[in-house]
Structure 1
Amino acid sequence: MIEQKTTNPNDRTIEASSKKLLSKPIAFIQLIAFSTFGLVMFFVPFTIGGKRTIFFDHAASYLVKQQHNLSVTLLFLLMIFGAIKPFMDGSWQKNLTQKILTIFKVIGLILAVMYITGIAPGFIMEKDMMPFLFEKLALPVGMIVPIGALILAFLVGFGLLEMVGVLMQPIMRPIWKTPGSSAIDAVASFVGSYSIGLLITNRVYLQKQYSAREAIIIATGFSTVSAAFMIIVAKTLNLMEFWNIFFWSTLVITFIVTAITARIPPISLFDDNAERVALNNLRGRRLAAAFEAGLSTSRQASNFKKILWSNFQDGLIMTAAIIPSIIAVGLTGLLLAKYTPVFDALGLLLYPFTWLSGLSEPLVAAKGMSAGLAEMFLPALLLNEADVLTRFVAGVISISSVLFFSAMIPCVLATQIPVSVGKMVIVWFERVVFSIILAAAFGHLAMYFNWIS
């Protein structure tokens, strides 16, 4: 998991005293300019070469298509690093989960070598297996995540994250039953990565500032995949022309589902005692307090190159860790979906909800969405040729379900947050059911108003 500092104000005060602070005017310009740049890069589409999408998607597409050999070489270097790193740092011996994940990383690297050299068995080389996984998933992810991490520095490194956190404080407790400070976890996960969010959550829980229930709500409800991964999902499902509709509706649906699951078993049955000191009420206008928090962070962000490099490095490490395991687990899921009834059986449990939601071919949709338990990307892979409503719902499910075995569940198990695999599977099912209902309802509305078509 990626190293990330907590947002404890005392820690920041100590840290700030040991390094140069920017003047308030310079910090203000930096906060506004860099935050605006980050927002534009993430959310404003540009038309280049007849293709309309956000900036770093253009950059990644250029590498994948125009510099294919270079991108394949870079991807293999990252995969090799990801496969050998657990043996170099000894992390593979940490627990059973790490041993299994390490095996999958090695298998993923071997599969990629077999694909490139053309020596893989025929059933693996079918176009909807390794060719699809490698060319349509691994390569774009391998290029987008590091570039996205670099752009994310402008969203999380210069005060915007803290501003959003303060503004969100008044609604966290009544809606999600978590402290106001958990807004930082939520935003860090959604614009950064679930690994960052989980690391923050685990540290705060160990400091007894979160109860067990609060930590589980945050880990299973806020720690979803990053915005950079959402682009991969949207591209695979051909939803990039509706990127803003897809992004914002997915964000809202994800957090609505979290508000629901926080109030029902199994999460509602966990202990809710915490030993945190009551936070003082903010004085003055909240907008002013949010701005002050953002400005304070911006004043400390004096080393521009270090901030960019740190985020880019995090992106490289994350890519190295996830690409080989995604290939291995993704291929396993695709093979199970194509040649076994595993997801047919699981899909039967979701069928009533896809049928009630008015999706065409509801059983096919239910089967595809059930595969998300193995890997969050599988619904997008399995349903990428469905009608637009089903593709939209599948895209939302890929993000809002949060929990999946290829990465997220093992990451939670690696923390001290007291939730079992069985409980997480139940929470996953609840999240998928509510996400299907909400996403289908919004999808029908969006089609009626021609927001998506």
Structure 2
Amino acid sequence: MKTPTASSPQQARIATILKLFVPSTLGILIFFVPIELGGRRTILLDHMVTGARAVMGDYSGFYALALIIAGATYPLIRGYWRRSLTERIFTVLKITGVAAAVMALTGWGPAFLHEPDMLPFLFERLVIPVGLIVPIGAIFLALLISYGLLELIGVLVQPVMRPIWRTPGRSAIDAVASFVGSYSIGLLITNRVYQAGQYSAREAAIIATGFSTVSATFMIIVARTLDLMTVWNLYFWLTLLITFIVTAVTVRLPPLSRMDARADNGEPEAEPGRRLATAWQTGLEVAARAPGLHRSVALNFKEGLVMAISILPSIMSVGLLGLLAAKYTPLFEWLGWLFYPFVAIWGIPDAAALAQASAAGLAEMFLPALLMAEAEFAARFAAGVVSVSAVLFFSASIPCILSTSIPLSVGRMMLVWFIRVALSLLLAVPTGLLVQTLVG
């Protein structure tokens, strides 16, 4: 009778190890391993989205419109519009997004809005794919973020977080949660930790403006728009690298370097010589406590759906305003000249267009991708990097940060945005030229 009792802890440990590795491995396969199906070589998640859109056919437009209507009514029903002036402005913009979506779907409205590079491009190339990829991606994000992989990675990278990014080791979880989940998830984690006194104001601001970027699922939309899916893994990992290099520089410059660095309940130093064991144990503990897969999937799908309905109306309205401003006003042309020296130094033919498209990213992170969709490879690659590494944009991330307790004003965020875009262009253009050489 001793054998079952003795083997029970071992069986439980094996089950926990499987619970850590099986979902995490599946998540990595779905998000990062290209597979050829139907003559297209891309990651499984992209295949799923393409298949879902093919099944829905013409109804995909009505599906996107339903999400946009839900997103416009959500802040009214929940009363979010009462919170601040910013919330009221974005509530109006979301309602405007409904009108824009109706016009895109029905063909109603002024002719100039229905030119190929306006409403049709925005609705067909961006809104519908985002409306599909965010909820579908959220289902599979449960495999990556719920079973200990994030925590295991977080403990392993503790020694590099403080010297490079001046943030505690636990901030690695926020960073990875943003990149494989969403900036909203990352900001939620950051705000909770900051309110608990475990981050200083400077640490919380660094994480919010440096790590809380768009997710891997949104990067797929950017890559598809710019025809970069053939180099998806190079694009993903190089964008990740450039984003974090830019953050390492930005934290050493004002305004972030001058913010309050005191934390009431800071992170204790990890025990030397036991990092790998601690990381392994932490991952196993999270896996052991993790809910069943069906619960994780349901929770992530709900969050993904709420995120989709929150973002789509803003993309439709702010994105359209940005496209109109880019086409019919000199606003981004003027702003873009500030970035021109950082691009022109590399001698690419689309330097002015790339600088102006990068400036347009302040309104909506997809605009650089939309505006550079027909450019040369290096410029397209750089636009894809800047769309992600800039982090801050008015259609979503800036309002999200303003809704937290993190002491970042619009002025501070604008300055951080300028620094990030300038540094990103300096790094992304030569990287794009290198990738072009590698892939022939």
- Note if 1:153 corresponds to 2:142: yes
Amino acid at match of 2:393: F
Whole-angstrom distance in 2 between the partners of 1:278 and 1:201: 14
Equivalent position of 1:251 in the other structure: 240
Amino acid at match of 1:163: L
Give the alignment partner of residue 33 of structure 1, picking from 22, 25, 47.
Answer: 22
Whole-angstrom distance in 1 between the partners of 2:22 and 2:154: 19
CA displacement at 1:62 relative to structure 2: 1.8
SS in 2 for 1:333: helix
- Note if 1:418 corresponds to 2:407: yes
- Note if 1:173 corresponds to 2:199: no
Whole-angstrom distance in 1 between the partners of 2:60 and 2:139: 17
CA displacement at 1:163 relative to structure 2: 0.8
- Check conservation: 1:357, 1:436, Cα contact below 8 A: no
Amino acid at match of 2:258: L
Equivalent position of 2:391 in the other structure: 402
Question: Gaps (5+ residues) in structure 2?
Answer: 1-10
Amino acid at match of 2:365: M
CA displacement at 1:280 relative to structure 2: 4.5
SS in 2 for 1:415: coil
SS in 1 for 2:41: strand
Alpha carbons of 1:98 and 1:28: their partners in 2 closer, same or farther (altered >3 Å)?
same
CA displacement at 1:284 relative to structure 2: 4.6
CA displacement at 1:110 relative to structure 2: 1.3
Whole-angstrom distance in 2 between the partners of 1:280 and 1:367: 45
Q: In angstroms, what is the RMSD of aligned CA positions?
A: 1.3
Question: Gaps (5+ residues) in structure 1?
Answer: 1-21
- Note if 1:55 corresponds to 2:44: yes
Q: 1:111-152, CA deviations, whole angstroms, 9 ceiling, x for partnerless residues?
A: 111221221210111110000000000000000111111111
Give the alignment partner of residue 319 of structure 2, picking from 299, 317, 330.
Answer: 330
Equivalent position of 1:212 in the other structure: 201
Equivalent position of 1:370 in the other structure: 359
CA displacement at 1:278 relative to structure 2: 4.7
SS in 2 for 1:384: coil
Q: 1:349-368, CA deviations, whole angstroms, 9 ceiling, x for partnerless residues?
A: 01111101222231111111
Whole-angstrom distance in 1 between the partners of 2:197 and 2:380: 41
Q: 1:374-408, CA deviations, whole angstroms, 9 ceiling, x for partnerless residues?
A: 10000000001000000000000000000001111
Equivalent position of 1:138 in the other structure: 127
Q: 1:288-316, CA deviations, whole angstroms, 9 ceiling, x for partnerless residues?
A: 22111111111112422111110011111
Alpha carbons of 1:277 and 1:387: their partners in 2 closer, same or farther (altered >3 Å)?
closer
Amino acid at match of 1:120: G
State the TM-score, normalized to the length of structure 2: 0.95
Whole-angstrom distance in 2 between the partners of 1:150 and 1:404: 26
SS in 2 for 1:40: helix
Equivalent position of 1:162 in the other structure: 151
Write out aligned runs for 1:29-428 (5 A): 29-282=18-271, 284-428=273-417
- Check conservation: 1:359, 1:365, Cα contact below 8 A: no
Q: 1:205-254, CA deviations, whole angstroms, 9 ceiling, x for partnerless residues?
A: 11221111111111100000000000000000000000000000000000
SS in 2 for 1:265: coil
Q: 1:404-440, CA deviations, whole angstroms, 9 ceiling, x for partnerless residues?
A: 0111111111111111111111111100111111112
Paired positions, count: 430
Give the alignment partner of residue 12 of structure 2, picking from 5, 10, 23.
Answer: 23
Amino acid at match of 1:81: A
Alpha carbons of 1:306 and 1:385: their partners in 2 closer, same or farther (altered >3 Å)?
same
Equivalent position of 1:15 in the other structure: none
Whole-angstrom distance in 1 between the partners of 2:432 and 2:325: 29
State the TM-score, normalized to the length of structure 1: 0.93
Amino acid at match of 2:186: G
**Off by >4 Å, runs of 4+ in structure 1:** none
Amino acid at match of 2:25: T
Alpha carbons of 1:285 and 1:309: their partners in 2 closer, same or farther (altered >3 Å)?
same
